[in-house]
Amino acid sequence: MSKELFKRRVQIRTDELIRHGREQIPRRSDFLEWNYDSELYAFSVRLGENFDDSKIREAFVDQSHVEMEAERHRALEMGSEDEFAITSNDRLAEVGSTFLSETLESYVRVAFPFWPEEGVQALVAFLNSNEVQAEISFHIGTRDLIFAKDYPPDMPTYAKVFRALVGVLVESGHEDQAKRFIYDLVVPQLHVQDINEIWDIKDPMRLLMTILKNEGKSEPESRLLWVSGLDTIMACYHVGIYVDKELIGQGPGESAEIAEEMATRDALRRMFRSDESMPMIPMGDYLDPNQIKAGPKANLSASEWSQEKVLKNLQTI
């Protein structure tokens, strides 16, 4: 029986994809047993957050829904537009977006004190992206609570609702609760990422030379350490970067140029302490909010970065 039902479901899905280009997912609110108030209460309890009831309802209303309802309101001649009392989540999303950026900047600067400010902003931009926040929004169960013209909601709508939820906590006077909300849901997205890939350094050799100059050291020297599979399609070159006869980075590549770039990036990772031996990113029970409050205003920029300056800044915190 279950196999037959599954087969029918696959046939229906295939037919919808051919006819409409996407699967038609029924709205949960179309079912008879749907109770929005109960679902909203269950959502708050599930997250363990104390949301203001009126504000959380506003957080789930997208501007497209307001426009759709306003048009229906005018078509039915149900009074003036001044009597139309639905408010979109634009204002709450703006409040939440500002708070998210400030909180994430403080966190990243404390979690990665040796990273230049350009790298900090790259990580913050990643965590603030629609892709990341929409993914979080979907998995905490916002899909069926959102009022929007399209169903399922698109990525920007999911992300906007998540920011609005943060805005609800901020406007309710629960800023510490909003920060913990961000630390618990947004920060862990770094756990499955290679943070060195998020910050795309366009010219790693130039950056390395700038840092070495700031530290009063000589220019880097590339040396071929070994090569295997020469003159084959499986050739592998291994290049090391030396400064004052000291190996500061090494890396492999299918050509000497690629290996040199990988070695340079390895040297930068070691300087910024984001290599394989880096400590665990603070989150969960290992995260001290008080330490983040005392964090620096901004990390050093890449153009002025040196290990001595970073250590000096850390001592003044």
More confident residue, 26 or 150: 150
- Give the global pTM: 0.84
Of 165, 107, 109, nearest to 133 by C-alpha is 165
Residue 12 pLDDT exceeds 80: no
Nearest to 160 by CA among 87, 67, 69, 97: 97
pLDDT band of 28, cuts 50, 70, 90? confident
Dist CA 224 CA 211 (whole Å) = 23
Higher pLDDT pick, 269 / 8? 269
Residues, the chain: 317
Q: Compute the average pLDDT of residues 8-25.
A: 69
pLDDT tens digit string along 156-171?
A: 999 999 999 999 999 9
Q: Please write the tens of the pLDDT for every residue from 32-83.
A: 677 888 889 999 999 888 888 888 889 998 888 888 877 877 777 665 555 5
Q: What pLDDT, in 10s, does the model give residues 120-137? A: 999 999 999 999 999 999
Q: How confident is the model at residue 240 (pLDDT cuts 50, 70, 90)?
A: very high
Is residue 20's pLDDT more than 70? no
Instruction: Look at residue 98 in the predicted model and tell me its pLDDT.
Output: 94
Which CATH number is associated with domain 202-315? 3.30.160.20
Residues 123 and 31: their CA atoms lie apart, in Å, by 41
Q: What is the mean pLDDT of the chain?
A: 86
Q: In the chain, which ranges are E strands?
A: 221-228, 236-243, 246-253
In a 13 Å sphere around the CA of 171, the CA atoms on its Cβ side amount to 23
**Do the beta carbons of residue 65 and residue 87 sit within 8 Å?**
no
Higher-pLDDT residue of 212, 87: 212
The domain covering 35-191 belongs, at the CATH homologous superfamily level, to Ribonuclease III domain (1.10.1520.10)
Q: How far apart are CA 27 and CA 19, in angstroms?
A: 19
Tell me what pLDDT residue 230 has: 83
